[in-house]
Chains A and B, each alone.
Chain A
Amino acid sequence: GENVEQHPSTLSVQEGDSAVIKCTYSDSASNYFPWYKQELGKGPQLIIDIRSNVGEKKDQRIAVTLNKTAKHFSLHITETQPEDSAVYFCAARANAGGTSYGKLTFGQGTILTVHP
């Protein structure tokens, strides 16, 4: 089955700096890669996603890059703010039986702390 590794497990940055979180996956059939933000006491929230036919996707201060050959993808947050502090999860999903709703495998999570 799919295995997703996420690094680092914790990341501390100063407000205004950039933050990068990296994930690798094992299943070459995976074709959908979402990123989630989880604030304390809440469920994860989808913040950005990318499909395997795209190398990069950007939404304001966040961007995701995908290297399908190397099987890794990264989340980039620029101009970080204290409210970006949360746990971030990457995930990977492969097609299953012709649908796009196959198994979703998550990374272990990264605790991001942005210091004012």
Chain B
Amino acid sequence: EAQVTQNPRYLITVTGKKLTVTCSQNMNHEYMSWYRQDPGLGLRQIYYSMNVEVTDKGDVPEGYKVSRKEKRNFPLILESPSPNQTSLYFCASSRRLAGGDSYEQYFGPGTRLTVT
């Protein structure tokens, strides 16, 4: 089954304690990204990766790090979490469909993070 998995699904942590949210896809997609979803703001892109070892900043990268050492994994790292990073986080992967104008894209189920 084609899917994007995220772990953990729920996390409560304290300010300053480093954490990593993992993301994995089994579809051999080149493109992966991370978003945060906040009420009234929609989804905002944090980082994206166009392939292994190729990453770039999205609209809200401050306070986050990513790495893409393998095609299937794209972890999100919060070196020193703060309360304003309390949010719902989504990982997504996609690829452009050959010969067409559409993208095959999947979002993970989300990780709800609370930083106290």
Binding site for B on A (CB under 8 A): 1, 6, 32, 34, 36, 41-46, 49-51, 54, 89, 91, 96, 99-101, 103-109
Contact = CB atoms under 8 A, between A and B. Distances in A.
11 contacts: A41-B110, A42-B110, A43-B108, A89-B42, A91-B43, A101-B30, A101-B50, A104-B48, A106-B42, A106-B44, A108-B40
A42 B44 CA distance: 17
A104 B101 contact: no
Contacts of B50: 99, 101
B109 A43 contact: yes
Contacts of B31: 101
Given A46-B103, A46-B105, A89 B43 contact: yes
Interface of B: 4, 30-31, 33, 35, 40-45, 48, 50, 56, 58-59, 90, 92, 94, 96, 101-103, 105-110
B112 to A, nearest CB: 10
A100 B31 CA distance: 10
Nearest to B108: A43
Contacts of A99: 50
B48 A103 contact: yes
A1 B59 contact: yes
A29 to B, nearest CB: 16
B48 A44 contact: no
Nearest to A51: B101
Nearest to B6: A43
B90 A44 contact: yes
Given A49-B103, A103-B45, 20 more contacts: A1-B59, A32-B103, A34-B103, A42-B109, A43-B108, A46-B105, A49-B101, A89-B42, A91-B43, A96-B56, A100-B96, A101-B30, A101-B50, A101-B96, A104-B48, A106-B35, A106-B42, A106-B45, A108-B40, A108-B42
